[in-house]
């Protein structure tokens, strides 16, 4: 993969709140041309060109960890100012209204409506490589529309109400742009990625998805200039 061209490397903070494959994410972003810092410092996370919110494990634990470093506030402030944020795996799931794990419902950040639930599939967790159905006009998947990506998860958002037209008075109508939703299938269909103005997220791990994942991260980093 060729690094993002240009004199200055975009600055990216990978939020270190105790959950996620943070070292892998840092290395992957560095390889595609970002100047990356792994930190829980709120000022650094607020000021960076891009913020990455990783996540592995349980929804409730990730939300607790995020709130413990006030990462939820940083994400909300960045989005209010139109500043890019990328969520990965459970870092994507916590952007929804709630997560339902073993009958326990935990509030998420509420950036998108919907509840993250256990996959309805013969084999769970869903682990391995899978193709996706990119949204038309996707910038994240430009050049890797037909590639496979690496998933490790038991839960996912299985519907996305905002894929339809958004009412003008909706609090979710980011800069009047309809979200671009990418889907995948394991048992049933689930949301594999979303692009919604400054907010993007993937259910799969781009940092573990080889050349295709690197290309996707490069696509995201290229939007930070």
How many angstroms separate the CA atoms of 115 and 119, rounded? 12
Show the CA angle centred on residue 83, arms to residues 210 and 10, nearest 5°.
50
Cis peptide bond prior to 125, omega within 30° of 0: yes
Catalytic one among 126, 153, 205, 215?
205
Does the annotation count 207 as an active-site position?
Answer: yes
Return d(Cα 117, Cα 192) in angstroms, integer: 14
Cα 73 from Cα 67, distance rounded (Å): 8
Whole-number Å distance between alpha carbons of 151 and 155: 11
Q: How far are the Cα atoms of 23, 133, 173, 196 from residue 166, in angstroms, in the given order?
A: 37, 21, 6, 12
| Active-site residue, selected from the candidate residues 111, 195, 207, 218 | 207
Show the 3-state SS of 17-36.
CCCCCHHHHHHHHHHCCCEE
CA torsion angle 64 129 219 118 (round to 10): -30
How many whole angstroms separate alpha carbon 99 and alpha carbon 59? 6
CA dist., res. 57 & res. 90, Å (int): 7
Beta partners for 43?
none
Name the catalytic one among 62, 89, 111, 153: 89
Task: Kindly list the catalytic residues.
Answer: 89, 205, 207
């Amino acid at each position: 993969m060729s690094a993002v061209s240009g004199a200055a490397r975009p600055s990216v903070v990978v939020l270190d709140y105790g959950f996620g494959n943070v070292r892998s994410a840092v290395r992957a972003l560095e390889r595609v041309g970002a100047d990356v810092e792994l930190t829980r410092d709120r000022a650094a996370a607020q000021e960076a060109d891009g913020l990455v919110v990783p996540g592995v494990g349980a929804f409730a634990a990730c939300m607790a960890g995020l709130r413990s470093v006030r990462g939820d506030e940083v994400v909300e402030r960045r989005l209010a100012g139109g500043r890019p944020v990328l969520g990965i795996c459970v870092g994507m799931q916590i952007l929804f209204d709630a997560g339902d794990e073993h009958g326990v419902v935990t509030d998420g950040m509420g950036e998108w409506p919907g509840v993250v639930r256990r996959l309805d599939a013969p084999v769970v967790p869903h682990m391995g490589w899978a193709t996706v159905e990119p949204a038309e006009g996707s910038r994240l998947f430009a050049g890797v529309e037909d590639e496979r990506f690496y998933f490790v998860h038991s839960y996912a958002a299985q519907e996305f109400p905002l894929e339809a037209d958004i009412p003008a008075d909706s609090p979710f109508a980011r800069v009047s742009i309809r979200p671009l939703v990418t889907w995948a299938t394991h048992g049933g269909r689930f949301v594999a990625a979303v692009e919604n103005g400054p907010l993007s997220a993937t259910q799969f791990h781009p940092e573990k998805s080889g050349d295709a994942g690197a290309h996707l991260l490069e696509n995201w980093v290229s939007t930070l200039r």
